A = this chain, B = another copy of it.
Amino acid sequence: MKGVLDIPPELSEMQAWVLSGLGEVVDEIERALASQVPTVAELCRHVERFRGKMLRPILVLVAGAASGQPTDTLASDDLRRLAAVVEMVHMATLVHDDILDEAEMRRRAQTINDRSGNEAAVLLGDYLIAASFRLCASLADPEPSRLIGRVSMELCEGELLQIQNRDNLSIDEATYFEILEGKTAALVGVCTRLGARVAGASQDVQDAMDRFGRSIGSAFQVQDDLLDLLGSEDVVGKTLGRDLKKGKLTLPLIHHLASVSAMQRAVSIELLEAASERGGNTGGHMGSTATATSAPILEAMRRTGSLEYARTTAEGLVERAKRSLDVLDGSPAKSVLTLLADAVLTRDR
């Protein structure tokens, strides 16, 4: 969990178990993507360079351990496979998202669309989805396949709803959360639910773990909105201008525009457009300029308490997540889940 959170000494055994599990998950993914077609094998090798913190597989493993999977032996085959499945679904969304965003770089590696063209990127994303479904169907229990199928549909619904609302300055909070649920929270909820299920937890515990995952997934996204606004470019790697240029409205902004008078709204929209133009032109490499230009709109959002509102919303979601854990007996894995929930609010990247 390097880079995700600092683990206190008493949880170091748990951490070692997760890290060794992740190693096996990586092997599982490699086997699942193996292809006799050299060009496909080569593309899959490149995609491995996009690998991040592997938050989703970590959640499957830790949720499993918190729900009955022993941690003095290796993770069960099914737990390891499901951890690989959710990471592959996530990889597929990254490859297809990069086409939609016309992105050139991801994690210091060239995107598939920039490197091999949009055609290859569409097909490679499809290959990753198909491989994840196939691996999921290798389990004897059909329920994970049903859940992964359903959540993959929700991912697309969330993205399509976001596209439909691009540049919609009147988007309401309900729609914002509907997009967020589909795009982010639903898959995180399935990660923790599947971990619990495959570890043999009761239906009640599975439902509670789903709520836990959904809540931290939502909190993560709201916190992302705040980091976009407040973080320095070096730390968060994004700019207000970039979100705005993409027509993506964040929670603080939605709150702000819904809180002000019609006249102040017109002023805010002008400030936004100025920040957007300037921020968009920085190409994501001149954060300090973007921050300077966005100061007036930031100031306006502070006056309506919109940053505070988003912060409180994220905190409420993390509290909700932690309350979901009440159904579990105490364990090192449960402590790690609590730490992961808290880390959503303290992370700076």
Contact = CB atoms under 8 A, between A and B. Distances in A.
* A interface majority secondary structure: helix
A37 interface: yes
A146 B137 contact: yes
A49 interface: no
The interface centre, meaning the residue of A100, A129, A163 with most chain B CB atoms within 10 A of its CB, is A129
A31 interface: no
A134 B99 CA distance: 25
A202 interface: no
Interface in A127-161: 127, 129-131, 133-140, 142, 145-146, 148-150, 152-153, 155-157, 159-161
Given A137-B137, A160-B39, A161-B39, A122 B96 contact: yes
Nearest to A93: B126
A135 B129 CA distance: 15
A138 B155 CA distance: 19
Given A96-B122, A140-B142, A131 B157 contact: no
Contacts of A123: 96, 100, 156, 159-160, 163
A35 interface: yes
A19 interface: no
Interface in A248-306: none
A232 interface: no
A241 B152 CA distance: 39
A130 B146 contact: no
A139 B148 CA distance: 15
A123 B155 CA distance: 9
Nearest to A148: B133
A63 interface: no
A152 B164 contact: no
Interface in A84-113: 92, 96, 99-100
A264 B117 CA distance: 34
Contact of A146 (B96, B138, B148, B157): B138
29 contacts: A37-B160, A39-B160, A39-B164, A96-B122, A96-B126, A99-B122, A100-B118, A100-B119, A100-B123, A117-B163, A118-B118, A120-B160, A120-B163, A123-B156, A123-B159, A123-B160, A123-B163, A127-B156, A127-B157, A127-B160, A129-B129, A131-B153, A133-B149, A134-B146, A134-B149, A137-B137, A137-B145, A142-B142, A142-B145
What are the 4 tightest A-B residue pairs by CB atom distance, in nearest-first order?
A134-B149, A130-B152, A137-B145, A127-B156
Given A130-B149, A134-B150, A137-B142, 15 more contacts: A35-B157, A37-B161, A39-B160, A40-B157, A100-B119, A117-B163, A123-B160, A126-B152, A129-B130, A130-B155, A133-B148, A134-B145, A134-B146, A134-B153, A136-B149
